[in-house]
Amino acid sequence: MNFNRGIFNKIKRRLPLILTMSISLALAGCDSDSDNNTGYMQFYNLSATAPDIYLNVDQEDDDDFDDITYSGVAFTGITGRLEFDTDSYDLEFSWQDEYNSSDLEVILEQELTVKNDIVHFMVMTGDVNSPEITTYSLDVRDDDELDDDSDDELFNIRLLNMYADDSVDLYYSESDETFEEAVLISQAAYKEMSENQKYEQDDVIFYATLANSDDVVFESTDISFSYAGEYIMVIRENTGTGSSPFVLDVVSTSSSTEYSDVNSESEYRVYNGIVENALLSVDTDYTDSLDFYIDESLVFSGLLFGEYSDIINTSSGDFGMTLKTPSGDQIGDNNNYLLSLTENTSSTIFFYLLEEAVDEDNDGDVDENNDGDVDGYEYTINSLVVENSQSESIYSHEVKVINLIDEDEIADNFDYIQVYFVKSDETIENADQSIGAVFATPSSITLLNNTYNVKVIGAQGSSDILMSSQTLTLDEDSKSKYLILEKDDSTVTGYKMTFTNQVD
């Protein structure tokens, strides 16, 4: 019985595929009309070191054609299907090397002849300094095929292998099955795209192996396909933290959605932002050092204020976090802070102290006896879990602002806090780039390579207060940064900012 089942499974993997799937991101394909003499372009950015890439299209030998520049496409991003008359066009691929400027830095030029009822699917790969464009010609479905796909509840699928090291096999199973029941969709060498196939709509799981291997190195979550659309299943190199070599992009006619291996590991590190406090000292013997527990098991000890822990590799999932002093006193009332880790991600956990005036009857009055003093204060220890950027872009970098200056400090003294990134030819008044810093709420800004005089300004009525100032230089070797704002009694202003890499 088991032997026969094994034979059946091996045969099943070689059967023609009729499959069902329902995907929320699906859109119908482009209608075909051969009388229009039109075709399509679609651009997909797979250069991991590239910033947003802009596509410019100019029709050859036609002075009346106004060249078009489309919005920038980030890494793994995609344009919609762009419609053009059948003709030859000059294409430029560029990135924006200045703020608030229409000038672009061209990195690649090529000619493309648009053919009738063809989608010219262009994929950029390689380093942004020497990128390559590979163009695939995809037939546009005509009205009859669109109607038939809709009536028969089918969708269309192709495999594209953009994993440089090996050929890959892609399988699928229904969502309530395993790899033992999986069916082979296609095998593809590097940069090879398989022929279009049609499948019934259903919830399914995809599996990837190296060519002719039964060892699964990628397994997706359930993916639902519920429209008569068309998709390219792109296997590419995993740039996340997990051990699976693959990531799957499901590319539709207008969008791209990334799926990581469901078994991928995650990583995290902890930042101790808990300042010493008189109220905290009453409850514990905390003196700028904490021990960290996950689900009641000690992970590390002795993490000092203002420092990061080592990176911890773990499975994805939901965990409880507890903080204690080295002597065993629990820090704060909460002994089970939630840590939820998504597969293939890197996170930083910031712990901080919040001191607030007591308002027992919630009437907004913290001086009930009208003696001119706040009746009392209370504190809480809080956690802030932030996902780290793992971008490999070399011309632009994310800076994520983490403001750990407590709420009362802001409410009593500042209307708001703003961070300015000032270049050498700018002042705060005309700086291109700035961002607000709200307490315990991450905010992000993307900066081009340059040297910036970073100034933190607190607005206080009609006055602006310079809280902190520091120089930041970003170049091709830089990583995405955290900018951490904290109180510091050792500085003249009582505040400081610290820059650290989001991922080492």
Residue 358 has pLDDT above 90, yes or no: no
Domain at 34-139: CATH architecture: Sandwich (2.60)
Q: What is the edge-to-edge ordering of all strands in the sheet holding 337-341?
A: 297-304, 289-294, 317-324, 337-341
**Helix H or strand E encompassing 337:** strand 337-341
What average pLDDT does range 26-30 have in this prediction?
A: 43
CB 322 within 8 A of CB 330: yes
The reply to whether 390-504 shares the fold of 265-387 is yes
pLDDT band with cut points at 50, 70 and 90 for residue 20:
very low
**pLDDT for residue 18:** 36
**pLDDT for residue 35:** 55
**pLDDT for residue 34:** 46
Both structure tokens of 20:
């069902």
Nearest in space to 237 (alpha carbons), one of 22, 28, 48: 48
Distances (CA, A) of 252 to 30, 32, 42, 447, 477: 11, 17, 11, 30, 34
Residue 37 has pLDDT above 60, yes or no: yes
**pLDDT for residue 255:** 95
Residue 185 has pLDDT above 80, yes or no: yes
CB 120 within 8 A of CB 113: no
What ranges make up the beta strands (E) of 175-279?
Answer: 183-188, 197-200, 203-210, 218-219, 223-224, 230-237, 246-251, 256-259, 265-273
Residue 500 has pLDDT above 70, yes or no: yes
Residue 66 has pLDDT above 90, yes or no: no
Residues 373-411: tens digit of each pLDDT: 776 788 999 999 999 999 999 999 999 999 999 766 665
CATH number at 390-504: 2.60.40
Bridge partners for 157 per DSSP: 197, 231
Interatomic CA distance for residues 404 and 396, integer angstroms: 26
Q: What rounded mean pLDDT belongs to the chain?
A: 90
203-210 and 223-224 beta bridge pairing: antiparallel
Residues 410-451: tens digit of each pLDDT: 655 789 999 999 999 999 999 999 999 999 999 999 999 999
**pLDDT for residue 102:** 86
Which fold does the domain 265-387 belong to in CATH?
Answer: Immunoglobulin-like (2.60.40)
Interatomic CA distance for residues 177 and 335, integer angstroms: 39
Residue 312 has pLDDT above 60, yes or no: yes
Burial of 63 (0-12, 13-18, 19+ CB in 10 A): exposed
Which sequence spans correspond to the domains of the chain? 2-24+141-259, 34-139, 265-387, 390-504
Interatomic CA distance for residues 377 and 375, integer angstroms: 7
Share of the chain above pLDDT 90, in %: 80
Nearest in space to 404 (alpha carbons), one of 420, 389, 384: 384
What average pLDDT does range 110-127 have in this prediction?
A: 97
What average pLDDT does range 281-310 have in this prediction?
A: 96
CB 39 within 8 A of CB 117: yes
What average pLDDT does range 231-249 have in this prediction?
A: 96
**Candidate from 167-171, 365-369, 486-490 with smallest mean pLDDT:** 365-369
Please tell me the pTM assigned to this model. 0.88
Residue 23 has pLDDT above 50, yes or no: no
